[in-house]
């Protein structure tokens, strides 16, 4: 079935596949963990039952999503070794300890307190339960911090030297952890996770408002989500822009691919292409529609300043432009739609019909999954855009590969594809089915789950 593909391309596809599936769950659980902490905090402060009901509802959804994140994450921690062992040997001394910190400071924290958050309110009391909930949220953020430091180091390596066997050796941990692209990437990703979660919560709220605009839990969650959309989207667009400028400085080739700039503009007045079909063979953008000069403005450069293109870069150092160009446009386009949605909700709120705006609610449902798509598109942009390197400019992807045979990689790839679609497909189905029920529903599953709402006596035989 996959005959004729090299071990390298299969291993790359396998990593892309497993990491793309994986990132979906953390993008949701990072945001949702913080949302749960906020809901629980508000419940303790106000004693408004609506918050508690919402907490118990989203907690069950969180448990399923988090479980999927854990099992797909364990796979990642071994993929480096099974398929990319040369990378592991060479970059391990630098990125390995950062990942060890992630395990020690984040994974254990999440896993250790998750049980108490899910099952333990009655056993430990409200205060300790709140503490456990906060620790889970803090753990998800710590995890994001460390893994983005690792990824950023691979994009913009700093603080290292290279030893006699070709390994990257740490020289300055401060420079390694806080490498030049890390703060931008971290801000952009954490905001993305919050926004993704807000859009999901908003969509669920909208769904139930369409059915019953008096549903008080739906009103509460919809309102909270729309506040997030209107406040966080502009911040995210700003953070994304700053991240882009940072990339322009440190990985200019990636920006050339994102913008479709095959050609140089030595006199300045570089266009911003709105549309075009990248043609790597001919090294040009076919059917291009661009606005002259806007390229310079976006790059915050004077209009007459030169903007260089891919014609100054050797072919074997260029990423595949088509993927990068389009995934970037998908991300930005969705970002603009999110901004529009946020403003629409602000308008509806101002006029007092936030809960009675069926078209806004329908738009929210349509935009429910858009955060995940934008996150994936963003990661595709940054990861494909830094090809052909794993450690940017220093270690090529083709030189990072493990000495495994193509049939072994092909077999495991097929297994991952089949298993992931089956298992995570089922999980997504269960999640959607839970979301389809009102927050006040006591039983989200067909049977009462291991996480029962307090005060409900289980019926024997259920």
Partner 1 sequence: MVFDLAFIWAGLIAFAVLTYVVLDGFDLGIGILFPFGKSEADRDLMMNSVAPVWDGNETWLVLGGGGLFAVFPLAYAIVMPALYMPITLMLLALVFRGVSFEYRWRAERKGLWDVAFFGGSFVAALCQGIALGALVQGIEIEGRAYAGGWFDWLTPFSILTGFAVVVGYALLGATWLILKTTGDIQVQMRGYAWWLGAATLGTIGIVSIFTPFQDPIYFERWFNLPGSLWSMIVPVLMITLTWTFFTGLNDQSDLRPFLSALGFFVVSFIGIGISFYPMMVPPSLTIWEVAAPDSSLAFALVGAVILIPIILAYTAYAYWVFRGKMDPSEGYH
Residues from 123 through 162 that contact partner 1 (CB under 8 A): 123-124
Binds partner 1 by CB under 8 A, chosen from 74, 162, 289, 336: 74
Q: What share of the chain is helix, strand, coil (3-state, %, to 5)?
A: 70, 5, 25
Angle at 398 between CA 396 and CA 401, to 5 degrees: 110
Q: Smallest distance, Å, CB 75 to partner 1?
A: 5
Distance, CA of 184 to CA of 317 (rounded, Å)? 24
Binds partner 1 by CB under 8 A, chosen from 41, 170, 268, 320: 170
Binders of partner 1 in range 97-126 (CB under 8 A): 97, 99-105, 107-116, 118-124
Distance, CA of 428 to CA of 419 (rounded, Å)? 14
Residues 387 and 319: beta-carbon distance below 8 Å:
yes
**Residue 90 or 386 with smaller CB distance to partner 1:** 90
SS3 388: coil
Distance, CA of 210 to CA of 117 (rounded, Å)? 31
SS3 389: strand
**Residue 242 or 399 with smaller CB distance to partner 1:** 399
**Residue 264 or 428 with smaller CB distance to partner 1:** 428
DSSP states of 212-230: -TT-HHHHHHHHHHHHHHH
Distance, CA of 390 to CA of 396 (rounded, Å)? 6
Binders of partner 1 in range 435-454 (CB under 8 A): 444-452, 454
Q: Smallest distance, Å, CB 440 to partner 1?
A: 18
Binds partner 1 by CB under 8 A, chosen from 13, 44, 96, 284: 96
Binders of partner 1 in range 349-388 (CB under 8 A): none
Residues 407 and 350: beta-carbon distance below 8 Å:
no
DSSP states of 155-177: HS--SEEE-TTS-EEES-HHHHH
Binds partner 1 by CB under 8 A, chosen from 2, 9, 20, 82: 82
Which pair of structure tokens corresponds to residue 246? 């940072």
- Total residues at the site for partner 1 (CB under 8 A)? 89
Q: Smallest distance, Å, CB 407 to partner 1?
A: 8
Select the span of 67-75, 200-208, 333-341, 368-376 touching partner 1 (CB under 8 A): 67-75
Distance, CA of 225 to CA of 228 (rounded, Å)? 5
Binds partner 1 by CB under 8 A, chosen from 264, 313, 427, 438: 427
Tell me whether residue 331 is exposed, middle or buried, using C-beta atoms within 10 angstroms of its C-beta: 0 to 12, 13 to 18, 19 or more.
Answer: buried
Which residue matches tokens 């509460």? 220
CA-closest candidate to residue 13, choices 409, 386, 444, 324: 409
Binds partner 1 by CB under 8 A, chosen from 44, 414, 423, 440: 423
Q: Smallest distance, Å, CB 129 to partner 1?
A: 10
Binds partner 1 by CB under 8 A, chosen from 89, 242, 280, 399: 89
Q: Smallest distance, Å, CB 189 to partner 1?
A: 20
**Residue 95 or 375 with smaller CB distance to partner 1:** 95
**Residue 108 or 275 with smaller CB distance to partner 1:** 108
Residues 120 and 129: beta-carbon distance below 8 Å:
yes
**Residue 1 or 165 with smaller CB distance to partner 1:** 165
**Residue 42 or 94 with smaller CB distance to partner 1:** 94
Binds partner 1 by CB under 8 A, chosen from 419, 421, 441, 442: 419
According to the binding rule CB under 8 A, does residue 399 interact with partner 1? no
Binds partner 1 by CB under 8 A, chosen from 20, 167, 223, 264: 167
Q: Smallest distance, Å, CB 310 to partner 1?
A: 34
Distance, CA of 350 to CA of 438 (rounded, Å)? 26
DSSP states of 190-206: HHHHHHHHHHHHHHHHH
DSSP 5: -
**Residue 152 or 370 with smaller CB distance to partner 1:** 152
Select the span of 247-255, 285-293, 369-377, 405-413 touching partner 1 (CB under 8 A): 405-413
E strand residue ranges, 30-154: none
According to the binding rule CB under 8 A, does residue 404 interact with partner 1? yes
């Amino acid at each position: 079935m996959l005959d004729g593909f090299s071990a390298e391309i299969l291993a790359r596809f396998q990593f892309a596949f497993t990491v793309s599936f994986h990132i979906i769950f953390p993008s949701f659980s990072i945001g949702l963990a913080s949302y749960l902490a906020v809901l629980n905090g508000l419940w303790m402060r106000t004693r408004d039952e609506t918050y508690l009901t919402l907490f118990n509802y989203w907690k069950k959804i969180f448990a399923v999503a988090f479980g999927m994140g854990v099992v797909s994450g364990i796979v990642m921690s071994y993929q480096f070794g099974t398929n990319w062992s040369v990378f592991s040997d060479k970059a391990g001394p630098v990125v390995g300890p950062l990942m060890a910190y992630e395990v020690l400071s984040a994974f254990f924290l999440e896993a250790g307190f998750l049980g108490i958050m899910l099952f333990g309110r009655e056993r430990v009391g409200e205060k300790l339960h709140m503490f456990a909930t906060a620790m889970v949220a803090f753990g998800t953020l710590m995890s994001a911090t460390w893994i983005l430091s690792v990824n950023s180091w691979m994009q913009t390596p700093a603080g290292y030297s290279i030893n006699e066997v070709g390994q990257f050796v740490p020289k300055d941990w401060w420079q390694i952890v806080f490498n030049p692209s890390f703060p931008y990437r971290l801000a952009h990703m954490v905001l993305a996770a919050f926004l993704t979660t807000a859009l999901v919560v908003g969509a669920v709220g909208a769904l139930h408002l369409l059915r019953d605009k008096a549903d008080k839990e739906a009103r509460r969650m919809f309102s909270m989500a729309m506040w997030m959309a209107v406040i966080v989207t502009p911040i995210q667009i700003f953070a994304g822009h700053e991240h882009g400028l940072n990339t322009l400085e440190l990985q200019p080739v990636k920006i050339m691919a994102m913008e479709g700039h095959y050609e140089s503009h030595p006199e300045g007045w570089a266009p911003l292409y709105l549309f075009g079909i990248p043609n790597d063979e001919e090294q040009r953008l076919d059917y291009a529609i661009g606005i002259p000069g806007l390229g310079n403005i976006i790059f915050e450069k004077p209009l007459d300043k030169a903007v260089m293109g891919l014609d100054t870069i050797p072919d074997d150092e260029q990423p595949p432009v088509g993927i990068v160009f389009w995934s970037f446009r998908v991300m930005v386009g969705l970002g603009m739609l999110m901004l529009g949605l946020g403003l629409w909700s602000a308008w509806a709120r101002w006029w007092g019909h936030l809960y009675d705006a069926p078209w806004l609610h329908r738009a929210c449902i349509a935009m429910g999954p858009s955060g995940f798509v934008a996150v994936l598109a963003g990661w595709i942009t940054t990861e494909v855009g830094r090809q052909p390197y794993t450690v940017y400019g220093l270690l090529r992807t083709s030189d990072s590969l493990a000495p495994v045979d193509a049939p072994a990689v092909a077999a495991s790839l097929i297994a991952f594809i089949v298993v992931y679609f089956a298992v995570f497909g089922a999980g997504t189905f269960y999640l959607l089915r839970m979301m389809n029920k009102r927050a006040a529903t006591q039983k989200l599953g067909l049977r009462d789950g291991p996480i029962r709402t307090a005060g409900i006596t289980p019926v024997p035989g259920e």
